[in-house]
Amino acid sequence: MLHSSDSAAVPNDAHSPPGKKASMQGKPSLLSNLGADLPASLVVFLVALPLSLGIAAASGAPVMAGLIAAAVGGIIAGSLGGSPLQVSGPAAGLTVVVAGLVDEFGWQVTCAITAAAGVVQLVLGISRVGRAALAVSPVVVKAMLAGIGITIILQQVHVLLGGKAAGSAVENLTGLPAAIINVELHSAFLGLAVVAVLLGWKYLPTAVRKVPGPLAAVVVVSALSMAVAPNVERISFTGSLSDAVALPSLPDGNWRAAAMAVITVALIASIESLLSAVAVDKMHAGARTNLNRELVGQGSANVVSGMLGGLPVTGVIVRSATNVEAGAATRASAILHGVWVLVFSALFAGLIQLIPLSVLAGLLLVIGAKLIKIADIKTSLRTGDLLVYVVTLACVVILNLLEGVIIGLALAALSVLWRVLRAQIQAQAPLADSLPWRVTIAGSCSFFALPRLNRVLHSVPASEDVVVELNADYLDHAFREALVAWQTQHRNTGATVTLEEHGTTAFRDAADNAPQRQDPSEFPLPPRTSWQPSPPEAAHKAEHDDAGQLPLRSILLGSDKYHRRHADKVRPLVQDLTEGQNPDTLFVACVDSRVNPNLITSSGPGDLLTLRNIGNVVCSDGRDASIDSALSFAVKGLSVDSIVVCGHSNCGAMKAVIADAEGGSNPVLGAGFDAWLEHSRPSYRELLNSHPVAVAAEAEGYSRLDQLSMVNVALQLRKLEQHPVTGPAMASGDVQATGLFYDIPTARVVLVTPEGIEQLDPSMAAR
């Protein structure tokens, strides 16, 4: 099922950004971009050669094992992997692990462990769990790499000073003073010379920097050593590349430790390869990585490398980044780099023995230092993960890689659990005597938070009015019961307790349903609370309140809530409105308090110029200066594009029109109100004459009262056409008029036209 071209990538598994299709991973053939891939492969080869030798030396493995792994990683992983531009080979991330395996099991058993780890990777890839490896906390991975870097530095400092590295980082650290005292000056000079060349390479002219820094440092300092230190210890091996091929052998007992080693190598190699592939994807705009296929490619390479006596293979970010920067276009570059390593190892292996060990030690010191990134430490500090970073790093250095990663993952999981389950609960005393105490609760409200909830709630003095501000994303039964019990107890002291809810989980939903996280719902205004004081309690408070009113229901309390919850969100919306307004719509609505124009039109500050009166009427006879001036200001002064007339259900004005027409009266409202109804009485006559809007509304099941409200809207639209200001603007097309009806019981908005009505709610219109 796997082929060498990218077209084999499975679309559903591709690590692609939104909108990208897996077909992008296809063709052309490997040779179609040879002009870009060939020079890139040579650059990567020159970088990989000294790194492979250094990693082999640091791992305690035969030197040629690094070259075998580099060749196999380039050819096998490059051909079968899911990342088109990633370059694979021996990596510093497994240096410490391999060195420990070589000490414990010997080299040939280590090769068997490498091959078995490759089989595990194949199983993971075939099982399609590639993405699961990305669930590892990034801070743990970064700390792991930093720990590896420190371990490599402590190890290679001894080699650079002319001594031998110990088996653990702690032993290397404690033995450092003795190594400094017994320093071999020639070795130290050569190693430090390599470090100096690598650190200063970026400051050299661009033409010089076309040669990879690691290659130049190794070649120049090795040549220098022939003149100044001919007797310094150098790389040594016997035989050719074919002689270096070592068949693996099974461990002699201790199978449990060997099995654990297989899992360790497989997991670390897989995670490092996948994270490297994701990082490489961010460096170019071409095909994305198929993560499952990449695991199959890496597993295949490790099986082959282990069977031939090579080091474990992973995707390597240094070589991959070099590949991208060198202009590689397809996976042919990675494959060719492996071919060049193979050719060099077969024909020029003797040159390798000219390289001093301290030269490779200097190279590895710089590599180890690059694994420790200050930016990662700053990020962990900024995100609150510094403890996870430090503990993981320390455990990797002091214990071992696997135990350090396991401890780091466990600590990261506990950190997430703490952040998710911890609710923020605090009580605030009122700033003024007329204001209540405030208890704010935010986060996941579960039984884990009950001790803190109990302590904070009981810090509120008895008989003090309280507002509980609940912003929960999760609420379980235990938390709700504790809050209700305290609410009952506190009310018994004569105080009121009011609940304000702003989160995604409603308090009332926690009574009888299973606790769950709900999707946040966008709502432009804070909802009315369902936990207001009961009428008897409200009367009791009004009777005993010095001001004779309920402060919890006052406008000032609403303003206080606005400043706490909404002012910071509104402020950016009104910054551009400081010097003037530019609304596009005049909204004519009834004065009814249940109609909120901005709410039902999802509009904000500066969007609507609002004209409100009893019955949402306009007049075309010039008898009302306030209406005429508002229309003139909107059309001529602000150049609005549209005018909306909005009626509503159960309208009191329409009730009065019907009562007046059918022999009733309303003496309480007086003669002025009766005179104002003259603007709406023509609507009643149209209702009796079966206006098309009334007929359509009756067919939809609306009451006679609501039919009249809709007919009234239609007649106001006709008046706008006759008005001396709006009429010409509508005739020329500069202004358009629209009728709406707000049905309060269903909270739906209906479109009113001269011919009838249309449902604007998609769920209603689809019926």
pLDDT digits (tens, 9 = 90+) for 45-68: 877 887 888 888 888 888 889 999
Of 342, 367, 389, which one is at a domain's C-terminal end?
Answer: 389
At residue 165 the predicted structure's pLDDT band, cuts being 50, 70 and 90, is confident
- Whole-number mean pLDDT of the chain? 83
- pLDDT-derived band at 228 (thresholds 50, 70, 90) equals confident
Q: What is the pLDDT of residue 142?
A: 83
Quickly list H helices, 237-331: 241-244, 255-281, 291-308, 317-325
| 551 in the same domain as 588 | no
Give the per-residue pLDDT at 445: 84
What pLDDT sits at residue 9?
A: 37
Q: Which residue, 536, 567, 598, sits at the end of a domain?
A: 567
Token pair of 668 as six digits: 């309480």
Using an 8 Å Cβ cutoff, are 441 and 424 in contact?
yes
pLDDT score, position 31: 64
CATH of the domain at 698: 3.40.1050.10
Which pLDDT score is estimated for 76?
96
Closest CA to 307 of 117, 111, 65: 111
pLDDT tens string 514-532: 666 665 544 445 544 443 4
The average pLDDT across 255-274 equals 90
Most confident of 275-284, 471-480, 529-538, 602-611: 602-611
Paired strand residues for 234: 356
The confidence score (pLDDT) of residue 98 equals: 92
- 534 in a domain, yes or no? yes
The verdict on residue 208 lying in a domain is yes
**Closest alpha carbon to 80 in 262, 303, 232, 384:** 303
Q: How far is CA 616 from CA 437, 652, 743, 744, in A?
A: 41, 11, 15, 16
Same domain, 537 and 675: no
Q: Who has greater pLDDT, 358 or 564?
A: 358
pLDDT tens digits, 81-90: 999 999 999 9
In a domain, 168, yes or no: yes
Q: Which residue has the higher pLDDT, 729 or 363?
A: 729
Residues 602, 730, single domain; the answer is yes
Tell me which of 527 and 722 has the higher pLDDT: 722
Distance of CA 495 to the CA centre of its chain: 44
Which CATH number covers residue 557? 3.30.750.24
In this prediction, residues 738-749 reach a mean pLDDT of 95
Its sign, for the CA torsion 754, 759, 762, 767, is negative
| E strand spans, 76-160 | 88-89
User: How sure is the predictor about 307, in pLDDT bands with cuts at 50, 70 and 90?
Assistant: very high
Long-range contacts of 597-605, Cβ-Cβ distance < 8 Å, separation of 24 or more: 597/646, 598/524, 599/524, 599/525, 600/646, 600/740, 600/742, 600/749, 601/644, 602/524, 604/524, 604/573, 605/570, 605/573, 605/574, 605/577
More confident residue, 10 or 35: 35
423 three-state secondary structure: coil
Both 515 and 455 in one domain: the answer is yes
Please answer whether residues 624 and 567 qualify as being in contact, where contact means their C-beta atoms are separated by less than 8 angstroms: no
Q: Which of helix, strand or coil describes residue 254?
A: coil
Residues 514 and 661 in one domain: no
DSSP of 202-243:
GGS-HHHHTS-HHHHHHHHHHHHHHHH-TTS-B----S-HHH
Cβ(238)–Cβ(365) under 8 Å?
no
What is the structure's pLDDT at 8? 34
Query: Among 640, 464, 475, 657, which Cα is nearest to 552's?
Result: 464
Q: How many domains does the chain divide into?
A: 3
Percent of the chain with pLDDT over 90: 39
What pLDDT was estimated at residue 500?
A: 79
Domain final residue, candidates 363, 389, 415? 389
User: Do the Cβ atoms of 42 and 340 come closer than 8 Å?
Assistant: yes
- Mean pLDDT over residues 200-227, rounded? 86
Residue 669 has pLDDT above 70, yes or no: no
| pLDDT of 1 strictly over 50 | no
Q: Whole-angstrom distance between the N-terminal and C-terminal Cα of the chain?
A: 49
Residue 306 in contact with residue 73, Cβ under 8 Å?
A: no
Q: What phi and psi values does residue 363 have, to the nearest 5 degrees?
A: -60, -45
As a whole number, mean pLDDT of residues 751-762 equals: 90
Confidence at 108, pLDDT banded by 50, 70, 90: very high
Mean predicted confidence (pLDDT) in 332-354: 87
pLDDT band at 206 (very low <50, low <70, confident <90, very high): confident
Q: Do 295 and 154 share a structural domain?
A: yes
pLDDT score, position 238? 62
Q: Are residues 559 and 606 in the same domain?
A: no
At 512 the pLDDT is: 66
Q: Is the pLDDT of residue 554 over 80?
A: no
Query: Do 362 and 500 fall within a single domain?
Result: no
The helix (run of H) or strand (run of E) holding residue 704 is helix 704-722
Tokens of 306: 């282990």
Q: What is the mean pLDDT of residues 756-767?
A: 76
More confident residue, 194 or 28: 194
Q: Is residue 2 part of a domain?
A: no
Could you tell me the pLDDT band of residue 29, with boundaries at 50, 70 and 90?
low
Tell whether 411 is covered by a domain. Answer: no
Residues 508, 517: Cα–Cα separation, whole Å: 14
- How much is the average pLDDT of 491-506? 81
Residue 574, in any domain of the structure? no
Query: How far is residue 476's CA from residue 491's CA, in Å, rounded to a whole number?
Result: 23
Assigned domain for 577 exists:
no
Residues 187 and 325 in one domain: yes
* pLDDT given for residue 129 in this prediction: 79
User: What pLDDT, on a 0 to 100 scale, did the predictor assign at position 506?
Assistant: 65
- The answer to whether residues 137 and 257 belong to one domain is yes
What's the pTM? 0.59
With 70 as the cut, is the pLDDT of residue 187 above it? yes
Between 211-215, 228-232, 462-466, 732-736, the lowest mean confidence (pLDDT) is in 211-215
16 assigned to some structural domain: no
Report, as an integer, the average pLDDT of 140-157.
84
550 shares its domain with 596: no
Strand duo 424-428 + 466-475: pairing: unpaired
Q: Are residues 613 and 690 in the same domain?
A: yes
Section 387-396 average pLDDT: 92
* HSE-up (13 A, CA, CB side) for residue 238: 0
Q: For 117-128, what is each residue's pLDDT tens digit?
A: 999 999 999 988
> What confidence score (pLDDT) does residue 241 get?
67
What is residue 499's DSSP assignment? E
Domain ranges, residue 476: 424-519+527-567
Could you tell me the two tokens for 283? 């460096």
pLDDT at 734: 93
pLDDT: is 503 or 12 the higher one?
A: 503
Task: pLDDT band for 695, please (50, 70, 90 cuts).
Answer: very high
pLDDT of res. 145: 77
Check: CB of residue 732 under 8 Å from CB of residue 636. no
Question: What mean pLDDT comes out for the span 457-468?
Answer: 90
